[in-house]
Amino acid sequence: MVKTRSLSTQIFLAALTLILSGCAPRGSFAHVSPESMVLSRGSPAPFLSIAVLSGILYAVYADRATTTLDLIEIPDRPHLPSAAPAPQVIDRVDVVAPLSPAFGEHVLSVGGGSAAVLYLDRETDVKNVLKLATRSLGQPQWQLEVLEPAGDPLALVPDGEGGFDAAWSSGLLSYRPVGHGGTSGTPVLPFKVQGQPSPDGSGGFTAFDSLTSSLLFVRWTGPGFETHVVDGGTPVQASLRSASGRLKVVTWDSRTRRLILHQEAAPGGKLSSATVTLCEGTKRLALLPGVSDSTVLVVFDETHSVGAGKTAYQVSLIAPGSLLGGRGSRYRKAVVTSGDSPIEGFAAVRTADALYVLVSQGDLRLLRIPLSP
């Protein structure tokens, strides 16, 4: 069992770790005041997605009460709406009680005037079907197709014309380019995903392969896959391709309880690694652009002891101080949300002037954190 530390000890160690990694904070913590809007009173499945395109936020989640995969559209404005819009049903994705452990598993992508969701549909107690739902933005009707063989969704890559390449894993890594029908159009590679995959934002993705115990960066090259191992990678990870083409990957090491940032010095170059901070119990990460090509935002869930045998569960943010109302690019930490209920899941996306975090903690909420220009 991992021993918990007092909050004061955690603060000291987090600040010390940031200093040692070259990201010294000016006052290690910052205060943020998120706006909050409840999207669902029930606790959804832990698989959550959020994306933004043309001033609209798209949030996808699976509702345990209705066993449906739902989408909500919210305008990206200086303030959240006073009430959440009604959810739009994409599909019913489970019909047999109890719900599958993979209930709600999906990936979301938007681009080329369309939205797409790659997801698992449990049709019977022994049969899962992998489906791709696509829809022109602004239109109510989803187009559904079945992809074979069924497996865990990994990534969707928009082609800029309303189509999406799809990647998934069923013990094999399969990729279906647009126009190849419902089956994989590429040679397959032995692969079984562990944890959640992460798109890098430019057509590639990272995912942990349990067959080789390796974190892989994967990109479709036309005739097949380009794969690279991220040394020291773990199943809890997130990736980002910077504006200059540099790959950045953040991972959480459960043994050392450290967030590690792996990044290329130049596109295609070797990855170097540096500790970001210490944290306990992290299950989910998001890596988003900072204020320049060399800076990032890291969003993560964590736990810490608050005394008397009680535990606090929170979503935290590490970001350049200038984005949080301070000065300079030195990193500071802020608590986005905290409570005594476990974080079931979260997803995050950044717009020009705000960070949005979709979080399941007893209910489903959308948080908006303003960012300084």
Q: Tell me the per-residue pLDDT of 145-171, one tens digit each, with 9 for 90 and over.
A: 999 999 999 999 998 888 999 999 989
Length of the chain equals: 373
Other CB atoms within a 10 A radius of the CB of residue 102 amount to 17
What are residue 310's DSSP bridge partners? Answer: 307
Region 42-64: mean pLDDT is 96
The answer to whether the peptide bond before residue 149 is cis (omega within 30 degrees of 0) is yes
Question: 225-230 and 143-147 as β-strands: parallel, antiparallel, unpaired?
Answer: unpaired
DSSP letter string over 293-336?
Answer: TT-EEEEEEEEEEEETTEEEEEEEEEEEGGGGTSSSS-EEEEEE
| Tokens standing for residue 45 | 């499945």
Nearest to 217, CA basis, from 252, 264, 274, 283? 264
pLDDT band at 17; cut points 50, 70, 90: very low
Q: Other C-beta atoms within 10 Å of 141: how many?
A: 7
Q: Cis ω on the peptide bond leading into residue 34 (within 30° of 0)?
A: no
What phi and psi values does residue 17 have, to the nearest 5 degrees? -65, -40
Question: In this predicted structure, what is the pLDDT of residue 161?
Answer: 87
Which residues, listed in sequence order, are joined to residue 200 by a DSSP beta bridge? none
Q: Delineate the domains of the chain, giving CATH numbers in brackets.
A: 7-370 (2.130.10.10)
Spatial neighbors of 130 by CB under 8 A, at least 6 apart, are 118, 119, 120, 121, 146, 147, 148, 149, 150, 151, 153, 168
For the record, the structure tokens of 180 come out as 């190849």
- In this structure, what token pair is assigned to residue 118? 């790659």
pLDDT tens string 223-275:
678 899 999 999 999 999 999 999 999 999 999 999 999 999 999 999 999 99
Q: pTM for the complete prediction?
A: 0.91
According to DSSP, residue 148 is labeled: B
The strand order across the sheet containing 363-370 reads 35-40, 363-370, 354-361, 345-350
- Residue 191 CA to residue 301 CA, distance in Å, equals 27
Per-residue b or e along 233-254, where b marks 16 or more CB atoms closer than 10 Å to that residue's CB = bbbbbbbbbbeeebbbbbbbee
- How many whole angstroms separate alpha carbon 112 and alpha carbon 151? 26
Would you report the helix, strand and coil content of the chain in percent, each value rounded to 5? 5, 55, 40
Give 96-111 pLDDT, tens digit per residue: 889 999 999 999 999 9
Phi, psi at residue 11, to the nearest 5°? -60, -45
55-93 confidence digits (pLDDT tens):
999 999 999 999 999 999 999 999 999 999 999 999 999
- Considering only residues 248 and 11, tell me which one the structure prediction assigns the higher pLDDT: 248
pLDDT tens for each residue of 293-311: 999 999 999 999 888 889 9
- Closest by CA position to 323, among listed 72, 53, 66, 32: 32
Q: How many Cβ atoms from other residues are within 10 Å of residue 348's Cβ? A: 26
> Nearest CA to 239 among 297, 198, 269?
198
Strand 296-307 relative to strand 143-147: parallel, antiparallel, unpaired? unpaired
What type of residue is 138?
A: G
The strands making up 296-307's β-sheet, listed across from edge to edge, are 285-289, 296-307, 310-320, 331-339
- Work out the percent of the chain whose per-residue pLDDT is above 90: 76
The phi-psi region of residue 356 (left if phi > 0; otherwise alpha if psi is between -120 and 50; otherwise beta) is beta
